[in-house]
Amino acid sequence: MKITAQSLAKNAVMAAALAASAFSAQAAELDIKLYNLTHGITFTPVLVAAHDSQTMLFKVGDTASAALQKMAEGGAIDDLSSQVTTAGGVVVENPAQGMLGAGAMTTAMLDTQDNMYLSLTAMLLPTNDGFVGLDSWKIPSEAGTYTVWLNAYDAGSEANDEIINGGGASGTPGIPVAPNGDGGSGASGVRTTEANNMVHIHPGNVGDTDNAGGMSDLDSRVHRWLNPVAKLVVTVK
C-alpha cells in the first residue's frame, strides 16, 4: 500500500476506532488460582502479567534479562513488573502477600484490558536461579475455566552451587535462604560454572543428606521436584 499523508491520517482515525472496538471486544476479567505442587519448594512473591505479543517476562533459549535475573536469583519482581506496565500491560504483584509455600494456593483477579497474553514468574527457594514460569499463554476469548501446568526454569545466570549463603543479589553466588529452615550449611558446592547461560528447563536440585557439610546445603529428600511444579487455573468470565 502506498502511504500518503492523507491516507495516513485516515488510517490513524480508523486505527483508533478499531483499537477502541478491539478494547471492548477483547477485555477479559480473569479469576486466577495458582497452586504450588512441590514437595518442599517455596515460591517467592508471584508476578502475574497480561501483555501484548511483543512483551514477555522470559523466553527459553534466550539469555535472561537483567530484570529476570533479579527475580530468579533474589525474588525481586519490581523491574519485571515495571517493564510490563511501561509496555502497556497490566500486572498483579504478590497475590499471596509473601511466600507461597509447598502445597499452598493463592488467588488473583486481573482485568486484562486489551492484552491477549498471560505470563507468570516466581523464584523457587531454595535454588540458585530457579523459577516457576508461564511464557505468553494466549488468553482464550471464550469464557470458561482453563488449567495450565507450569514448569521450573533455570535462568542460566548463576551456577547451581546449592550453597545457602544469603546471596540474592544478581551476580552474587549462592542461595538466599531455605524459607522453612530445612537447609544445611558448610557445603563444598555442587559446581562453580555452567556452560549453558540460556533460560532452560531446570535440571532439578541435587542435594545430599548431610546438613553440616557434603556438597550441597539442600536436602535431597526434601528439596527435589519433577515438573510440573505449579498448576494455574484461569477462569475467563
Min dist. Cβ of residue 203 to other proteins (A):
4
Asked if 231 touches other proteins (CB under 8 A), the answer is no
Go through the chain and tell me how many residues it has: 237
Residues 6 or more apart from 230 whose CB is under 8 A from it?
34, 35, 36, 37, 43, 132, 149, 150
Out of 160, 167, 217, 223, the only residue in the binding site for other proteins (CB under 8 A) is 160
Which C-beta is closer to other proteins: that of 26 or that of 137? 137
Residue 23's CB is within 10 A of a number of other CB atoms, namely 11
Min dist. Cβ of residue 8 to other proteins (A):
27
Which C-beta is closer to other proteins: that of 76 or that of 154? 154
Asked if 156 touches other proteins (CB under 8 A), the answer is yes
Number of residues near other proteins (by CB under 8 A): 26
Asked if 127 touches other proteins (CB under 8 A), the answer is no
Which range of residues in 2-10, 50-58, 93-101, 199-207 is near other proteins by CB under 8 A?
A: 199-207
Asked if 22 touches other proteins (CB under 8 A), the answer is no
Which C-beta is closer to other proteins: that of 36 or that of 160? 160
Asked if 226 touches other proteins (CB under 8 A), the answer is yes
Asked if 61 touches other proteins (CB under 8 A), the answer is yes
Which C-beta is closer to other proteins: that of 91 or that of 190? 190
Residues that bind other proteins (CB under 8 A): 60-61, 151-152, 154, 156, 160, 190-191, 194-204, 206, 208, 215, 225-227
